Chain A
Amino acid sequence: MHLILFVLFAGFCLAGAVNLLLQTHPINSALSLIVVMTSLAVLYLLLGAEFLAAAQIIVYAGAVMVLFTFVVMLLNAGREERTLGSRAASRIGFPAVAVVLAVLASLFIHAGNIGTAHLGTGLEKAATAGADNSNLTLLSQVLFHELLLPFEVTSILILIAILGAVALARAGHGEGTAAK
């Protein structure tokens, strides 16, 4: 069951990522990326990360990709022009990517058996308090006790990002006039 689900959704992931590269229209690329992110959410579920699967769907496949499609449609982005990429990309970039992939793949294959994943065994083994079926309890205990300060700092970061986005996208900016 786990193997079937893994192969199915890993295939969806790879197909979506390859389709993202092959499509010339940005809106098709955005929809392929949504497929990739949704399949990744299922893989998170298989690895026992229920909260992250939900967050992946809501934050990535929901909010971020809606923002992407919104901008694609707002700017009326058409078919991209097929120009030759920069020479550095083809001379250094592709061999470098191939080397990195080969190194990583050989590392992971020769790493030996680092364990297998089976359904229904998430982090709850490590849970000390409560025999809860989900790891949400454990996650929130660590997040809101031990890592409360980073959590709050991140909320400030998001506030600053919102202000920056509004200031950048405001009309009149970018044409030499100072932001009002």
Chain B
Amino acid sequence: MDVPLNWYLLLSAALFSLGVIGFLIKRNLITVFMSIELMLNAVNLSFVTFAYQWHAVKGQIFVFFVMMVAAAEAAVGLAIIIAVFRARATLSVDRIDLMKL
């Protein structure tokens, strides 16, 4: 049995939306960051799907670059989270409001 490629794209859209919802409703800094990773993964899935459809190797290489940038982003982001925790002693995004009006 073959699977229509639309289903992969639908799964990707659903995962991306769940990531956005998590970004909006989660109140923990680390979990918000995890939602961002979820969104990146959803986009990667649609890249791989289109690379399959067009038989284009560039799509897969783009996913490879996204992975490398995401790894660098995770390292820097978690270092920032550690610095914020050391300065404010909290991980709740509601308490980190120094720059809010």
Please list the residues of chain A having a beta carbon within 8 angstroms of any beta carbon in chain B: 1-4, 6, 10, 13-14, 17-18, 20-21, 26, 29-30, 33, 36-37, 40, 43-44, 46-49, 51-52, 55-56, 59-60, 63-64, 67-68, 71-72, 74-75, 77, 80-83, 85, 89, 93-94, 97, 100-101, 104-105, 108-109, 111, 113-118, 122-123, 125-126, 135, 138-139, 142-143, 147, 150, 154, 157-158, 160-162, 164-166, 168-169, 173-175
A126 to B60, CA, bound (A): 13
Are A14 and B11 neighbours in the complex by a CB distance under 8 Å? yes
Enumerate chain A residues within 8 angstroms of B71, measured Cβ to Cβ.
59, 63-64, 158
Interface of B is mostly: helix
B37 to A: closest C-beta gap in Å: 7
Count of inter-chain pairs, beta carbons less than 8 A: 252
Select one of A37, A64, A175 contacting B86, CB under 8 A: A175
Nearest 9 A/B pairs, CB to CB: A161-B72, A116-B2, A168-B79, A3-B1, A165-B79, A174-B87, A104-B13, A80-B28, A169-B79
* A51-B60 in contact given A3-B3, A21-B21, A80-B26 (Cβ < 8 Å): yes
Contact sample, A vs B, 16 pairs, CB 8 Å cutoff: A3-B2, A17-B14, A21-B22, A47-B8, A47-B52, A49-B63, A52-B60, A63-B71, A75-B82, A111-B9, A115-B4, A125-B55, A157-B72, A161-B72, A169-B83, A174-B83
